[in-house]
Structures are given as structure tokens and as C-alpha cells.
Amino acid sequence: MRRSSLFAVLMIAGSVQAQVLKDPQWQAWLDAGKTTELERAAQSRLNVQPDDAQAAVALALAALDGGEAKRLEAATPRLQACIDRQPPQAICHYALGSVLGVQAMSASMFKVMGLAGSSKENLLRAVELDPLLFEARQALTQFYLMAPGVAGGSTAKAKELAAAADKRQPEQAKLLRALIASNDKQLAEMERELQSIKPGDNKGLLNDLRDAWAQLGANLLADKQPAKAKAVFDQLARDYPAQAIGAYGLGRVAAEQGQADEAIKQLERARALAGADNLPIDHRLGLALLAKGDKSQAKLALERFVGNKKANPRNLEDAKKRLAELG
């Protein structure tokens, strides 16, 4: 599977944190990134009830949040057992499809096709079993948009999925259309769709909407529209003050405009907020400190990033290169 922007990858990770888990405490732990507590509770239940689907799915979602290869590999047989052992359950297919999709992103050429094909089939099965499981529909849409045609990608199929959701889940269908517009680089259309969404008190949709706005901001920055990108991230910072994404985006905008001090200020602010571990904040902070000429503090930031188990491989490669240059 081809890699899209960081925010597209985060959309996949974010989508698995919607309202899938029935236990409110488990869901709260997942939303807060407290995967240690979630894993402990889920494993404890599995020890007593080996065929518990929610526990198997919870462990998989915790692994996806961490993104560690070994934990993702360990989740796969549990989910397959969940599928094989019980009456068909959409959430098991959804979780397995999501795990396999993330694995495909970093797989070798010899494995990527098999993983991508299995990911698609499981996500398709999840949508068939439960057409209202929006998390599965969203993940399948992301698959169609991010995978090359030879691996099953198809913008046309993504549009079909969005159209099928229109009658029973109209607000979610708008989100899917926004993701498709992003993929087609139709940024004005993406913004119109996002502005029209009325999430109400649907926490999962609220989280997805936040991530989609972040993706729009990243797209605008890549499209050399820093003023519009800044406006998006400013709004995110106001709407989600406890989340790191707004300040991180503002730091990125400032860095692109050569404003090292402002970039450092925003990135330092982002480091203390929720979701910071899932963003390459210390990498970007290291670069901003280097731009300012502060090599010692830059080295500390880059070392922190290299030590982050959730570090994106592309950012990790550059961070290691910078550290080598710094000695």
C-alpha cells in the first residue's frame, strides 16, 4: 500500500478509536490513549473467557494505537480465532482488517499484496455483516483511497461506500465524501463537506471530524496555502484545547514560514497535550531548534523522538540522520 500523508495514516488510527467497545470504561481508556489499562483489563477477561470477542478486539485496538509490530502480530491470531470460533461478528472482521491494513503499510514487497488483500476482504465482510458499523465502512474507504489499484484500491468503490451510507448515516457519509475529496486534492470541496457535518453528541464522529480537519490543514500546508492552513489549525486549537493536533499544526505552519521561535513555542505546547505521542512533535521541534541554531536542545528533542515507540518510520529515518550529523 502506498503511504499517504501523515494525517491520512492518523485517520486510520483515529478511526479505530470510535465507539466500538461496549464497556464504557474500556472505550474511555482507548479514547484517552491509556492502552496499558485497557490491555490489562482485556487480557484479564480473556484469561477467564477465551472466546470473548470484545476482549480480543480491545487488545487489537490497543495494539493499533501503539503501532508496534510485535503487538500487531500478536493480535492477528486472536482476531482470526474470534472469527473462526464464533457466529460472524462484524467487529472481529473490522479489527482484523484494520490490523492487516496497518501491517501492509510497512510490509515487504513479498508480503504486501497478501496482507492488503486480506485486509480488504475482512473490511468488506465487516460492512456486509453490519452496514451500520461506520468504523468498518470508514476503514474500507481509507483502504480503497490509499491502496494502489493492483492491491485493490479504487476511488470509484470508495464513492460507492459513501453513497450507500447516505440514507441511514448522512453525517458520516459527508465525512467519507470529504476524505474522497482530500484524496482527489479537491480541498475546497473537502472543506465544504466538513463544514456541513453536524456530529451532535456522537463522540466517534466528533473525533473523526477533528482528524479530518487536521488532514485538511496538512493538505493546505502542502499546497502552499499557509494562511488557510493556519486558520484551520487555529480553529482546531480552539475547539479541542486539550488535544495536541492544533498546536502541532500551528508549529508546522510557523516552521514552514521560517518563524522558528513561534514554531518552538507551539510545538512545546503540543508536547504536553493529549495525542502528542502519535505525532512527530519532537522531530519537528528538533528541526525548529536546529533552524534557530540551538544544537544542544535540538539533539535532546531528536533523541526523545528516536526513543518514541510510536515514531513514524519516515520521520525516524530523518531524525537519526540529523543526530548522526550532530554527533
Q: Which residues pair with 93 in a beta bridge?
A: none
Residues ≥6 apart with Cβ < 8 Å to 65: 13, 16, 17, 30, 33, 35, 278
Q: Does residue 82 belong to any structural domain of this protein?
A: no
In a domain, 300, yes or no: yes
Q: Which of 14, 40, 15, 12 has the alpha carbon at shortest distance from 26?
A: 40
- Residue 127 contacts residue 136 (beta carbons within 8 Å): yes
Neighbours of 226 (CB within 10 A): 15
Q: How confident is the model at residue 69 (pLDDT cuts 50, 70, 90)?
A: confident
- Name the nearest CA neighbour of 275 among 243, 247, 306: 243
**Structural domain includes residue 184:** no
In a domain, 218, yes or no: no
CATH number, domain containing residue 300: 1.25.40.10
- SS3 assignment, position 274: strand
Which has the closest alpha carbon to 194: 207, 217, 177? 177
**Residue 293 sits in which domain range?**
237-327
Model pLDDT, residue 4: 38
pLDDT reading at 94 higher than 90: yes
Q: What does the pLDDT read at residue 9?
A: 39
- Judged by DSSP in three states, 243 sits in strand
Whether the model clears a pTM of 0.85, i.e. scores above it, the answer is: yes
Return the pLDDT at 19: 64
Q: What percent of the chain has pLDDT over 70?
A: 94
Spell out the alpha helix ranges (H) of 106-225: 109-129, 134-146, 155-165, 170-183, 187-196, 203-222
274 phi and psi angles, rounded to 5 deg? -60, 140
Q: Give the DSSP letter string of 102-137.
A: HHHHT--HHHHHHHHHHHHHHHHHHHHH-TT-HHHH
Cα separation, 90 vs 96, in Å, equals 10
How many domains are contained in the chain? 1
16 and 65 Cβ atoms separated by less than 8 Å = yes
Does residue 21 lie in a domain region? Answer: no
**Mean pLDDT for the stretch of residues 134-161:** 92
State the chain's maximal CA–CA distance in angstroms: 61
Q: How far apart are CA 111 and CA 108, in angstroms?
A: 5
In a domain, 263, yes or no: yes
Mean pLDDT of 218-222: 96
Calculate the average pLDDT of the chain: 89
> Does residue 26 belong to any structural domain of this protein?
no
Specify the length of the chain in residues: 327
Q: Would you place residue 230 in the very low, low, confident or very high pLDDT band (cuts 50, 70, 90)?
A: very high
- Average pLDDT of 67-86? 86
The answer to the question of residue 224 being in a domain is: no
22 Cβ partners below 8 Å, 6+ apart?
Answer: 54
